């Protein structure tokens, strides 16, 4: 099903942007795990709307647990959480039934669902659906921490302004936790200031900008993943592409490897503290679809928010002719800031699923 992913750990996301509620069902969590729900809510607050650089829509994003807990601990039943939608302005979207927004899913959804698609706020195509993804990911991050695995991300670039990248060889848990805790998660505060200026300038122009999120994982053991179709890269890529606005992903040196020679790109194997490692990490922690024990490192590219206040060109589906479009409503001038925890969540869920495949649920406590 298109709304579910995972094997040992299955996550199903449900709801629509302007429906009564959205939510997630997580099936396969080990039993007997005490989850820190204060920490889950802090994680979700990083994605929540509000603030100078996001939409003015106000949502508490407080999950209500329907099943899966007994005495505050996971009990083996699917963990189901719902998040109510409160601040909705559905009237802003009525004309979009006839005037599909450029670079949105409006037109292909109209074709696929024969005009029955929910146009309000983008329906199930909305970034609003990343709230339950972050709920599930926040739970996964806590379980991974029990095994010494830490997931963290930062804003690598916004509209061409670049942050200092993670050290691909020695990025550690402390660095990942520290940058994830920042209100504007960058390593170079001066670069962060320039990024904020780019976002504000776009907002003033009634426009938007895109950017890149870099994610790293420390403490990941070697041997996770499968060759070919079940590679670690393909599993993570599938989950990351479930985040609206993602248009590309690369691991390690990524596309820049295409301009290198083999001698430039190859990572020499070395012994460090009694274990096999690589001197560099242009492979991004994955070879042959399997983790190597080096930090896992990937970057996800996000397009500019397509809902902008400038007049754009579209077509009238009923009139079968060109038409101008001015989009009203509340939209992010840049989605990258709020996307950082979403990328962490997607990666964490895939890694927890893979580790459950490797270790089994009974060995988790």
pLDDT tens digits along 82-123: 999 876 566 667 788 899 999 999 999 999 999 999 888 888
Q: Inform me whether the pLDDT recorded for 170 exceeds 80.
A: yes
Report, as an integer, the average pLDDT of 274-286: 97
Indicate the annotated binding residues: 47, 288, 303-307, 330
Report, as an integer, the average pLDDT of 35-59: 80
Q: Poorest-confidence range of 117-126, 279-288, 315-324?
A: 117-126
Tell me the per-residue pLDDT of 333-353, one tens digit each, with 9 for 90 and over.
Answer: 999 999 999 999 999 999 999
**What contacts 24+ positions apart, CB below 8 Å, involve 184-193?**
184/53, 184/155, 184/337, 185/153, 185/154, 185/155, 185/337, 185/340, 186/154, 186/155, 187/154, 187/163, 188/163, 188/164, 191/161, 191/162, 191/163, 191/164, 192/155, 192/163
Indicate the annotated binding residues for NADP(+): 47
How open is the CA angle 10-58-79, to the nearest 5 degrees? 20
* Domains of the chain with CATH codes: 4-363 (3.60.150.10)
- Mean pLDDT over each residue of the chain, to the nearest integer: 93
Burial of 268 (0-12, 13-18, 19+ CB in 10 A): exposed
Indicate the annotated binding residues for FMN: 288, 303-307, 330
* Percent over 90 (pLDDT), the chain: 82
């Amino acid at each position: 099903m298109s709304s579910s992913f995972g094997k040992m750990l299955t996550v199903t996301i449900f709801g629509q942007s302007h429906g009564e509620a959205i939510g997630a069902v997580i099936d396969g969590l080990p039993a007997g795990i005490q989850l820190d729900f204060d920490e889950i809510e802090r994680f979700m607050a990083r994605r929540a709307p509000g603030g100078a650089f996001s939409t003015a829509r106000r949502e508490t994003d407080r999950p209500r647990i329907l099943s899966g807990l007994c005495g505050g601990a996971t009990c083996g039943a699917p963990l189901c959480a719902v998040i109510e939608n409160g601040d909705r302005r559905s009237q802003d979207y009525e004309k979009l039934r006839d005037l599909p927004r450029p670079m949105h899913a409006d037109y292909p959804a109209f074709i696929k669902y024969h005009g029955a698609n929910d146009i309000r706020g983008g329906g199930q195509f909305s970034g609003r659906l990343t709230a339950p993804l972050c709920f599930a990911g926040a739970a996964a991050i806590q379980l991974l921490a029990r095994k010494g695995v830490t997931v963290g991300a930062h804003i690598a670039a916004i509209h061409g302004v670049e942050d200092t990248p993670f050290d691909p060889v020695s990025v550690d848990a402390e660095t990942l936790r520290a940058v994830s805790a920042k209100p504007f998660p960058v390593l170079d505060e001066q670069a962060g200031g320039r990024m904020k200026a780019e976002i504000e300038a776009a907002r003033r122009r009634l426009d938007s900008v895109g950017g890149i999120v870099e994610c790293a994982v420390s403490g990941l053991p070697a041997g996770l993943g499968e060759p070919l179709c079940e590679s670690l890269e393909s599993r993570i890529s599938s989950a990351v592409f479930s985040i609206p606005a993602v248009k590309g992903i690369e691991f390690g040196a990524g596309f820049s490897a295409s301009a290198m020679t083999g001698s430039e790109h190859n990572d020499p194997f070395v012994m460090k503290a009694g274990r096999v490692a690589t001197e560099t990490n242009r492979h991004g922690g994955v070879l042959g679809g399997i983790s190597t024990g080096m930090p896992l490192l990937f970057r996800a590219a996000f397009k500019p928010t397509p809902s902008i206040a400038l007049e754009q060109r579209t077509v009238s589906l009923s009139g079968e002719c060109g038409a101008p479009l001015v989009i009203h409503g509340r939209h992010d001038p840049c989605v990258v800031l709020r996307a950082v925890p979403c990328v962490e969540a997607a990666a964490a869920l895939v890694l927890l699923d893979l580790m459950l495949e490797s270790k089994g649920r009974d060995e988790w406590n």
